[in-house]
Structure 1
């Protein structure tokens, strides 16, 4: 059984207490102590959300933290709601660093070991009948872009410290410098889907959709590490850092108890969060106001820190000053909002879940804020008859095929009830293809979601909380994989939460006099947009919907050494591939000139201050027979279409001439060779020893167990090998983008890292290859692998020769191959150095980050 380190430490505290004092303390106090200790001891694990709230809860309000047994909670839930599955909604982005338990993280990721850990995590909950629903961030909201940039720049400084440690000590830094492997989020999503889990990708900030899902589906709790879940009025907040898999216990943080300690009501918490500072409202905005509250606060406690006293002082001001005049004065009259009024109200409104209102401003004002945020769900006009993948009433008998990743076989219909002009959420069983609309209970006049088990034909009504009287469409049989209504009309296409379409609007925005401005999307075809949206929400695609809807994508930090200029940044190496994908998705110029639409790229690389996005244009690609349309790639199921999907994928990597050789390679080495050919054509500082290490580790990986990989020991850590490992993993994420855009010509499992890459194993092969060990040594004296090795090597070398790229060993390099080409963007002048090639011999345009509109982004090598 995989056990979280926090579980071990919690048990040790309990044992220590029993030995020293011979009695049992209140276990809640122990949990609170550990919660506080953990947040203070590991700054890399700091949670997001309200500034200082986690430390305050642990030190000043320990009774807010309660140890809970999840098995007991699940049993109580079954008793209270017969027929309903106890469900925990998981904020996956908060859990990544806690899930990644492999000891080695520096070499590019221990993916086989990580996959096993995830399998044990899921298995533990499944064994006690608890369903898990995982949410991943799908995009960065514009209002939180500054916070995203701030964290990426901070991560860049930490990466510089990591490489300094590697060069000084030649060993992996301690866990206090832990940095999650590149691509962990995207590959975790695919891993969970492979394990049969319901995995969703957000259309706005994930924490809002997580909180909405938890409220509407009456979940046991939200598992994560974000103090915003104490602010949302939703289901209980469960700490992932406190989770002990062995006992299935964790710490639950109670917002009602927090309000008791602060003298506030739950509806006051969004106001408090914005006054303290969160991901929307900068902490410095109300700094002077907080100090005024503190100076007039009469109950300052000397035994707690200044931050805790500040939280108490602001809470006291809300309860004793603002509450007194509430209703008589507008909030802006009682607070120094000034020019920050709109931002402040936006921050407060961001915590209001569907159907909730704030007593601190009118519903009319909230409607204006909501419209500005583009998060409302608006049903389609009845006269608009556009062909969009959607399910209709049975008598219409209209079927529109959905392009579905072959491995997952999931389809999510969009349902509109034509008679009432309302969006009807559907409960769909993927295998049986049964779709059952919501019905109305004639006695209670309440909406009742009916889910039908295709095997038993038994209908189960929606769960209703007897205390809150809230309707909770949670009744699903275990076989039912999804309850995902997608009800946004194609002509509106707002960035709407998948879980907000049940919201009942109090006022008509049009009647209120507000103009509903529809967002401009990069692709006008509503059918293509809807398909891309569906795959995005289901977590089956990667970045495609972001490109076709907003034309803006981002990529976080990679383990790259800004002082080592021998290797270019992955952001530049894979940019030509992304440009060809832009051409496929958005269209490009027919003559190859740069007149197509630009895509905003927020990619982190050394030297990029992230003040502005890179503006990147599509790059025309050559597909035999012409570039196919997206409808053909995404909707056509004929064999000829599958062939065109593969042709298009290879064209994105400029590898059409190597199609026959690549098709002859067995899975999973086909995808690996595709990447290796592209990498070695693009980057001249890669040598024969690098190629041999990549191929040898992939072949040896197939015959190794997880235990063997765990026990693998390295003599030392090489910084260049660290970068190469991250570079290949970023290539696999790029392949996920291309595969999604081309209609899934390859099964996703073919290029998952746990099948083709292991960080420690690659590092071992790299060290051996660098020392000049023979191929037989690299292959561990396994003669059966020798033939495969030479075949794979021959395919890569032959394809590179077609591009005039001859792969040689370090000993055969010319004197000018010093491995010291300047990295693009590594200095303030951002000088071009030409270490990447494109095959057309056009140099890189030297443009700075503030005004850069990258043309074809074609490089030549010296």
Structure 2
């Protein structure tokens, strides 16, 4: 992101422009000088990696723990009297589409490495392979709003809006990690990567000192940045100009700058820009040898750095109000409401649909080798189509033709991202043939108006749905929401169970219908973790220990969280019948808890153990499970019990350092690893207390108590009593069932035919 190579140059070749600052002192000076409270504008997208410092990230996200981290981070600034304004990317501008695609393809490679590591070692890879949990940016904006912070989603390039806001409101600085902020003539640029919250110190990249070192004026910086390369003007397109500049630089400097090649290049480009651009009014010097296409591209790149009053001559390609391609299908008041909700980070998906007809979704943790689980883009496509239909097809206006299809840029295995997928809207309530008796939402509105003639009808029913004040409209909103999810059977349950569990019920049912390979055990894992989550603190969740990670569970966790985002869009399109808080992952999902519940469910434990021996949780769980099964049966989907042994495929000889070294009780290697106490911390069979013999009997006989009465379904029995073949040495290693150590904890006791390789 930002100007290619500029960060490296600043820190390696221009240290005078990198100043350590303390934000408390900076805030006091700012207040004294400006007589206003100090405000810091935060580039939210740049801070995600710093914010998400939870230990676990592959299983779908540790959302409760993440909320605590955000709360603490915000508190560090508010205690210093610093107001925070957060900005997040709200759109992907077409002029940056190629850069977006390149990043998505690069992350696809990272995702492949993550799954390869999990399959090889049965554990989460190190931070060098970190791929942030799916949906993190979307839900972080809602999380910060719930903490009382001011949050904005951009309607154009976020960097531009951040710089404009900071300049207009005379903010004390911009906190981010993008060298574009040193090019903008705006507030001081502060590094989010260098930030320390204990003393609120960071590094300030000084624009003026950079200009002095390069011999440039402020107005030179946009041209300088574009020739080096950024997200609009690729470095490849300007390569010939840089090479010419470097040649001239070396020709007239007998002792070139002794730094790196990139450092010499930056000095050469700055010398070239200084020599050919002498006027602020001249955007692109005529002396530049450019094709018409490259000249237009360079002009667009330069203009992207000119803020409001600086860039009054901006071209139409960088308009502040994107063309509302679909505006004839919605009323002006709906279009305006969508924009306002979007900017205030209160809406999801709807603005991009009605304004530009484009929807994006970034990378998800999905295994391209797993042929059983569909990519989330395919799973939620019917839901998205009905969201589009709810927004664009429910109209009383005289529209001759249906709206054109929505352009979807969704990242998933097998999608080359060469062009968008064209997805047509589908009328809400129109289902497949076996549900042809389902009423359309259009009919529901006509029926409502005949029954309640006092309901307003100003142009189309979407206006009524969003802005109607009558009590009857509330049930219509819920009907629309449930129709989008094809979960109309649950209408009577609303208000009878907690709202976040109502959301879980709808989502799990939708997944179970769409994913034909989902088993009863998979559904039990989804439901049990949602029911138990409220009774676990972030500290409790961090203490859950797992014997190994399963790649299938990783993708299932991602599928659930992406589904919450889709439900968020359905809720917005339906006029928000549900509270936004009920759709947030920290109320219904935790990746580590889900992983443990999945392994327990697949092992065939009793339901009471799956529900932490909590009777109230067990009753709610049984109620939800019954409703899911009934709904699936009505749709022709019979949930079957198909427990999976999930025998680890990795070799114990080649496995990495054991994940829970702190629980070892003596000896060396895997033979000393205790069975992870608290694998599910409230499951009786793994609590590590009581009579050891009783636990041993429970372990060995668990199959006869679990689902299917099959002893082979006991938790990872194949992992603890199976021969592993070392293809490198043709040596068989037999792992015994194990024994209890002196602390009463069950631990592995492998008998090696030879010492394991280090």
Query: Cα gap change, 1:302/1:261 in structure 2, threshold over 3 Å: closer, same or farther?
Result: closer
Shift of 1:220: 0.8
Query: Which among 367, 370, 382 is matched to residue 564 of structure 1?
Result: 370
Query: Which among 51, 59, 62 is matched to residue 12 of structure 2?
Result: 59
Gaps in structure 1 of 5+ consecutive residues: 1-47, 358-365, 376-493, 496-516, 814-862
Alignment of 1:356-395 (within 5 A): 356-357=310-311, 367=313, 369-375=314-320
Shift of 1:707: 1.1
Alignment match, 1:317: 272
Q: CA separation in 2, counterparts of 1:167 and 1:730?
A: 23
Could you say what secondary structure the match of 1:283 adopts? Answer: coil
Query: Which among 626, 629, 650 is matched to residue 443 of structure 2?
Result: 626
Paired residues of 2:144 and 2:151 also in contact (CA < 8 A): yes
Could you say what secondary structure the match of 1:805 adopts? Answer: coil
Q: CA separation in 2, counterparts of 1:663 and 1:605?
A: 36
Shift of 1:341: 1.0
Could you say what secondary structure the match of 2:19 adopts? Answer: strand
What TM-score, normalized to structure 2? 0.78
Paired residues of 1:225 and 1:241 also in contact (CA < 8 A): yes
Shift of 1:371: 2.3
Query: Cα gap change, 1:548/1:518 in structure 2, threshold over 3 Å: closer, same or farther?
Result: closer
Alignment of 1:755-766 (within 5 A): 755-766=587-598
Alignment match, 1:363: none
Shift of 1:775: 1.3
Alignment match, 1:13: none
Query: Which among 516, 527, 531 is matched to residue 333 of structure 2?
Result: 527
Query: Cα gap change, 1:302/1:340 in structure 2, threshold over 3 Å: closer, same or farther?
Result: closer
Alignment match, 1:106: 58
Alignment partner of 1:212 is 2:148:
no
Alignment match, 1:673: 505
Shift of 1:664: 2.8
Paired residues of 2:70 and 2:144 also in contact (CA < 8 A): yes
Alignment partner of 1:275 is 2:107:
no
Shift of 1:352: 0.2
Q: CA separation in 1, counterparts of 2:11 and 2:628?
A: 56
Query: Which among 250, 261, 265 is matched to residue 202 of structure 2?
Result: 250
Q: CA separation in 2, counterparts of 1:719 and 1:54?
A: 36
Q: CA separation in 1, counterparts of 2:68 and 2:110?
A: 28
Q: Deviations over 1:341-362 (max 9, x none)?
A: 11110100100001115xxxxx
Query: Cα gap change, 1:100/1:324 in structure 2, threshold over 3 Å: closer, same or farther?
Result: closer
Paired residues of 2:394 and 2:462 also in contact (CA < 8 A): no
Q: CA separation in 2, counterparts of 1:594 and 1:571?
A: 27
Shift of 1:524: 5.0
Q: CA separation in 2, counterparts of 1:328 and 1:65?
A: 30
Query: Cα gap change, 1:50/1:287 in structure 2, threshold over 3 Å: closer, same or farther?
Result: same
What TM-score, normalized to structure 1? 0.69
Alignment match, 1:578: 384
Q: Deviations over 1:234-277 (max 9, x none)?
A: 00001111110000111111111110111101111000000111
Query: Which among 450, 471, 486 is matched to residue 639 of structure 1?
Result: 471
Could you say what secondary structure the match of 2:309 adopts? Answer: coil
Could you say what secondary structure the match of 2:310 adopts? Answer: coil
Alignment partner of 1:737 is 2:691:
no
Q: CA separation in 1, counterparts of 2:614 and 2:325?
A: 59
Paired residues of 2:393 and 2:402 also in contact (CA < 8 A): no
Q: CA separation in 2, counterparts of 1:110 and 1:342?
A: 46
Query: Cα gap change, 1:301/1:778 in structure 2, threshold over 3 Å: closer, same or farther?
Result: farther
Alignment match, 1:348: 302
Alignment of 1:699-738 (within 5 A): 699-738=531-570
Alignment match, 1:698: 530
Query: Which among 637, 644, 661 is matched to residue 805 of structure 1?
Result: 637
Q: CA separation in 1, counterparts of 2:164 and 2:101?
A: 26
Alignment match, 1:124: 76
Alignment partner of 1:336 is 2:290:
yes
Q: CA separation in 1, counterparts of 2:282 and 2:135?
A: 52
Q: CA separation in 2, counterparts of 1:132 and 1:182?
A: 25
Q: Deviations over 1:579-632 (max 9, x none)?
A: 011111111799xx9954210000111111111101010112224672541111
Paired residues of 2:276 and 2:287 also in contact (CA < 8 A): no
Paired residues of 1:137 and 1:201 also in contact (CA < 8 A): yes
Alignment of 1:646-657 (within 5 A): 646-657=478-489
Please say which of residues 769-778 and 759-768 is displaced more in the overlay. Answer: 769-778
Q: CA separation in 2, counterparts of 1:812 and 1:94?
A: 40
Alignment of 1:301-316 (within 5 A): 301=256, 303-316=258-271
Alignment match, 2:728: none
Could you say what secondary structure the match of 1:90 adopts? Answer: strand
Alignment partner of 1:658 is 2:490:
yes
Aligned residue pairs: how many? 614
Could you say what secondary structure the match of 1:59 adopts? Answer: helix
Paired residues of 1:588 and 1:618 also in contact (CA < 8 A): no
Alignment match, 1:73: 26
